[in-house]
Amino acid sequence: MKSIIRNILIDSLIVFFMSQMFSGFTVNGGMPGFFLSGIFLSLGMTIGKPIIMLITIPLAIITFGLYNLISSFVATAIVFFGISILSHQFIINSFTTSPVTIGIVHVPALPLNYFFAFLFVVICYSLLKGVIIWLMEE
């Protein structure tokens, strides 16, 4: 029970951060909308992700295990897509990233259409979730 509540709070926090960072990622309904999105995301990752991984076992067999390297990312993307279709609070649209300069490296502003915006949000979710869980380890 404790881990379920922890996952819901972590996912709600990540959804809040991503909605503040990206203009194309919006959550309607204020704080209850963030919490509801966190519940949907936690349930989708807890229940939907293992089912998707089981369904894609033949793909892992055909590719001799190479698919296992990206299977978690693909399952997360499918869960995000399902939640964005089923939930009216959780919306991902196309957007343009901000330009970033770190030292001598300059990354220009990138316009992302719906597909790439979706992939970008899923990558950022996975990174943020990994960092937060790493920071919370005892």
Residue with tokens 């009216």: 88
The residues, ordered by sequence, that sit 6+ positions from 136 with a Cβ below 8 Å of its Cβ are 6, 10
- Quickly count: other Cβ atoms within 10 Å of residue 134's Cβ: 8
* pLDDT tens per residue across span 18-33: 888 888 888 888 888 8
> What residues have CB less than 8 Å from 77, skipping those under 6 apart?
118, 119, 122
Question: Rounded to the nearest 5°, which phi and psi values hold at 111?
Answer: -80, 125
User: pLDDT, tens digit, for every residue of 58-113?
Assistant: 888 888 877 777 778 888 888 888 888 888 888 888 888 888 888 888 888 888 88
pLDDT value at position 106? 84
pLDDT over 80 at 57, yes or no = yes
State yes or no: pLDDT of 17 exceeds 80. yes
Report the C-alpha gap between 57 and 55 in whole angstroms. Answer: 6
What spatial distance separates the first Cα and last Cα of the chain, rounded to whole Å? 18
User: What is the per-residue pLDDT for 138?
Assistant: 64
